[in-house]
Structure 1
Amino acid sequence: MLGLDATPGISKTNLWACMGLGFLGTTVITFLPAGQPYILNEVLGLSAGDLGRITGYLQIAAEVALILSLTWYGALADRIGRRPVAVAGLLLCAAGAALYPFAGNAAVLVALRVLFALGIAALHVTMSAITADYVRDRTRGRAYGWLGLFSGIGAVIAVLVLVRLPSMLEQGGMEPIAAARTGFLIVAALVVVGALALRFTLSPSWGVTETPRVPLTRLIGEGVRLARDPGVALSYAASFVARADLALVASFLSLWIVDYARSVRGMSATEALAKSGAIVGIAYTVIVVGAPLFGWLGDRMQRQHVVILAQAVAAAAYLSTLLVSDPLGPGMMLVAAFIGLGEIGVITTAGPLLAQQVPARYRGSSFGVQVLCGAIGIFVVSGVGGWLYDLWRPAAPFALSGACGLLVVLFGLAVRRRVVPHPEVVAAERAGEPAA
């Protein structure tokens, strides 16, 4: 299926379900931050001067929840299996999205963003671990490329279609608050239906640690100790920046465009949100195209080298936002395209690098720590970037992320010759069996 070499016991249905998880998970993960400006403006009625700080606070609250839960999710996925954790993550995201437009104040919105973040944590861990489980190492880069493709399609649908639901309902005669609530409830219902379908199509057995059962604390500790391997450390560092990049596109790029469209161009909230969706949609359209490209490169280059290449592209793209003066102009469209290319490049290549460096019994734990590094990255970049957005300029969060990306490139160049695949993974690949 799609040129992938599945591990024994994995069917085509399981592989399609894996891609479906990437599609559905990324759709809902992208939808809520992209639709958040509409909630802040139309439901809560916040002033323009508070938008950057409130967006930063919401992102920080979400990242605290992620940081506190990610390693436990990873260890739990090794203990009870990937499927129940993935389905639970979708249901938590659906609950958060359904309740989000009913928040009466910013404090309630923060609590709901935390609930949503707990679902995101489960999805981030299981999407990566399931993809690594289901295919053998020789086509793992391609598998992550296809996962990125399906995830990119989900993101495009989120920003070009689902985010516009409140606007379309408002144009149909609904009041803004009613339109927001109805649109978010529709998305939540779709996610619940998808979660039920994946409950019966994902493999029930993969990711369960064999007896004797390893304590969760030991699984978490192993995920952390694996960072002594240079390849694992590079993957963790790349995730630190890549997840922050994803959050910037979903939250701060949308906020920058909406804020500029309303305050400078005099557009309404719904018109500004539509403009935001169109420009952010360019980034996610490039993600759809770029994911298979980097997946293909990941199976033909040494994995650490393709990670360094992707990170360099991402860093250059984010730093180029400092040259943008009109976020509604053609310059921003070009920048958005390169942002999408660099972002998907790092996300697509960091996973296969980590998978080749760790044994399967600790794969969930290691991916949990990898996503934890990404959560810390989002915490730092969104927290500091939110203040800089208000105090300096809207491009500040992107410039900060670009500078962090350059540091990862330098680290990768320093350790690239010391990255050696884990012997267990190499032996399993030669024997034609999954590493366990």
Structure 2
Amino acid sequence: MLGLDASTGISRTNLWACMGLGLLGTAVITFLPAAQPYLLTDALGLSGDELGRTTGYLQVAAEVALILSLVWYGALADRVGRRPVAVAGLLLCAVGAALYPFAGNVAVLVVLRVVFALGIAALNVTMSAITADYVRDHARGKAYGWLGLFSGIGAVIAVLVLVRLPNMLENGGMAPATAAKVGFLVVAGLVLLGALALRGTLAPGLAAPVEQRVGLTRLVGEGVRLARDPGVALSYAASFVARADLALVASFLSLWIVDYAKAVRGMSATEALAKSGAIVGIAYMVIVVGAPLFGWLGDRMRRQDVVILAQALAAAAYLSTLLVSDPLGPGMMLVAAAVGLGEVGVITTAGPLLAQQVPARFRGASFGVQTLCGAIGIFVVSGVGGWLYDLWRPAAPFALAGACGLLVALFGLVVRNRVTPSPDAASTTDQPAGR
């Protein structure tokens, strides 16, 4: 399927289900944050400072929930199996999305955002672990490339179709509050149907035998201790930069373009958003197309070398934003394309490296720690970058991400010849790791 060499016991249906999980999971992960402004303004009637504070509360609550739960989800996936955790993640997302527009106050909204974030955490861990389980090591780069492609398609579907559902319903005659409720319920229903379908098409796998089960605390500890391996440490560091890069494209690139268009060019908010969407769309288009490219490279180069290459490309792309004086000019189009290529590189290369470095029985725990590093990266780079955006210049968050990427690339050059794949990392679905 798609040129992938499946692990023992994995069928073509299982592989398609893995890619379907990437598409559906990314679609729902993208949907709620993108649709949230419509809900807060048109359905709940928030405005001004109240809108900003509420958005901040929701984002902080979501990130805290992610950070506190990621490593435990990874350990749980090693103990009871990947499929139950993945399906549970989809169900939590469905519950959060279904109830979100019915929240009567900000406190309830924060609780529901936490529920949704717990679902996101489960999906982030299991999408990576399942991909590593289902494909033999020599094809894992390609597998992560295809996963990136399907995830990108899911994000596009969320932005172009799902997010617009409430507005389409409102244009059809519904009141804003009713349109929001119906739109969110439709999305929740689709996620629920997808969860049921994946429950029957993902490989059932095996839970660890009772006599071999390791406590969750020990599994989490193993995920942290594995960082003593140079390859694992490089993968964790690359994930720190990769997730932060994703946050920059989603937030600061749009903010920079909109601010400039309104303040310097005198455009209306609608015109500014249209310009922003066109330029950010270039980055996302390159992300979708570039994912298979880096997957292909990941199977033809040493995994640590392709991680270093991706980090260097991403660093160069982000630092090039310092040369942009007019974010609406043609130069920004090239920078956006370079940023998209660098971003997809760092996202798709860290996973295969980690998969080859850790024993299969600890794969879930290690992916949980890797995703945790990414969540911390978002906190650090977005927080410091936002501060520098105001005090220095709009390109500052990208320059910070570029500097971090250079440090990771340099660290990779130092340890590249000390990275030795683990002999226990082979994916065999007839053993506990392949569940």
Aligned partners of 1:145, 1:93: CA distance in 2, in Å?
Answer: 25
How far did 1:69 drift?
A: 0.4
Q: Which residue of 2 aligns with 1:60?
A: 60
How far did 1:358 drift?
A: 0.7
Aligned partners of 1:23, 1:292: CA distance in 2, in Å?
Answer: 15
1:220 and 1:377, CA in 2 relative to 1: closer, same or farther beyond 3 A?
Answer: same
Q: How many residues align?
A: 430
What TM-score results when the alignment is normalised by the length of structure 1?
0.89
Q: Which residue of 2 aligns with 1:406?
A: 406
Could you report, residue by residue, the CA deviation over 1:75-98 in whole angstroms, capped at 9, with x for unpaired residues?
100111001100111122222233
The worse-fitting range, judged by mean Cα deviation, of 337-346 and 386-395 is: 386-395
Aligned partners of 2:207, 2:340: CA distance in 1, in Å?
Answer: 31
Could you report, residue by residue, the CA deviation over 1:250-277 in whole angstroms, capped at 9, with x for unpaired residues?
3444455556666752234xx6656554
Aligned partners of 1:91, 1:355: CA distance in 2, in Å?
Answer: 27
Counterpart AA for 2:201: T
SS for the counterpart of 1:211 is: helix
1:95 and 1:238, CA in 2 relative to 1: closer, same or farther beyond 3 A?
Answer: same
Matches within 5 A, 1:383-394: 383-390=383-390, 392-394=392-394
What TM-score results when the alignment is normalised by the length of structure 2?
0.89
Could you report, residue by residue, the CA deviation over 1:386-433 in whole angstroms, capped at 9, with x for unpaired residues?
4444555544433332222221111111111111111223xx58x999
SS for the counterpart of 1:417 is: helix
The worse-fitting range, judged by mean Cα deviation, of 307-316 and 397-406 is: 397-406
1:118 and 1:421, CA in 2 relative to 1: closer, same or farther beyond 3 A?
Answer: same
Tell me if structure 1 keeps the 8 A contact 2:206–2:431.
Answer: no
Identity of matched residues, % = 80
Matches within 5 A, 1:210-289: 211-257=211-257, 264-268=266-270, 276-289=276-289
Tell me if structure 1 keeps the 8 A contact 2:317–2:338.
Answer: yes
How far did 1:284 drift?
A: 2.2
Counterpart AA for 1:266: S
How far did 1:315 drift?
A: 2.0
Counterpart AA for 1:185: L
1:298 and 1:403, CA in 2 relative to 1: closer, same or farther beyond 3 A?
Answer: same
Q: Which residue of 2 aligns with 1:121?
A: 121
The worse-fitting range, judged by mean Cα deviation, of 376-385 and 249-258 is: 249-258
Tell me if structure 2 keeps the 8 A contact 1:10–1:203.
Answer: yes
How far did 1:217 drift?
A: 0.9
Q: Which residue of 1 aligns with 2:342?
A: 342
Aligned partners of 1:167, 1:125: CA distance in 2, in Å?
Answer: 32
Aligned partners of 2:306, 2:350: CA distance in 1, in Å?
Answer: 9
Aligned partners of 1:207, 1:280: CA distance in 2, in Å?
Answer: 42
The worse-fitting range, judged by mean Cα deviation, of 91-100 and 342-351 is: 91-100
Q: Which residue of 1 aligns with 2:358?
A: 358
Q: Which residue of 1 aligns with 2:98?
A: 98
Tell me if structure 2 keeps the 8 A contact 1:55–1:386.
Answer: no
Could you report, residue by residue, the CA deviation over 1:125-173 in whole angstroms, capped at 9, with x for unpaired residues?
1000000101110111111111111111111222233233344344444
Q: Which residue of 2 aligns with 1:47?
A: 48
SS for the counterpart of 2:163 is: helix
Tell me if structure 2 keeps the 8 A contact 1:44–1:104.
Answer: no
1:337 and 1:208, CA in 2 relative to 1: closer, same or farther beyond 3 A?
Answer: farther
1:434 and 1:338, CA in 2 relative to 1: closer, same or farther beyond 3 A?
Answer: farther
Does residue 87 of the first structure (1) align with residue 90 of the second (2)?
no
Tell me if structure 2 keeps the 8 A contact 1:169–1:179.
Answer: yes
Aligned partners of 2:257, 2:27: CA distance in 1, in Å?
Answer: 21
SS for the counterpart of 1:161 is: helix
Q: Which residue of 2 aligns with 1:320?
A: 320
The worse-fitting range, judged by mean Cα deviation, of 39-48 and 139-148 is: 39-48
SS for the counterpart of 1:422 is: coil
1:139 and 1:190, CA in 2 relative to 1: closer, same or farther beyond 3 A?
Answer: same
Counterpart AA for 1:419: V
SS for the counterpart of 1:423 is: coil
Q: Which residue of 2 aligns with 1:194?
A: 194
Counterpart AA for 1:45: L
How far did 1:338 drift?
A: 2.1
1:171 and 1:257, CA in 2 relative to 1: closer, same or farther beyond 3 A?
Answer: farther
Which 5+ residue runs of structure 1 have no aligned equivalent? none
Aligned partners of 1:331, 1:105: CA distance in 2, in Å?
Answer: 44
How far did 1:381 drift?
A: 2.0
How far did 1:13 drift?
A: 0.7
Tell me if structure 2 keeps the 8 A contact 1:73–1:125.
Answer: yes
How far did 1:202 drift?
A: 0.5
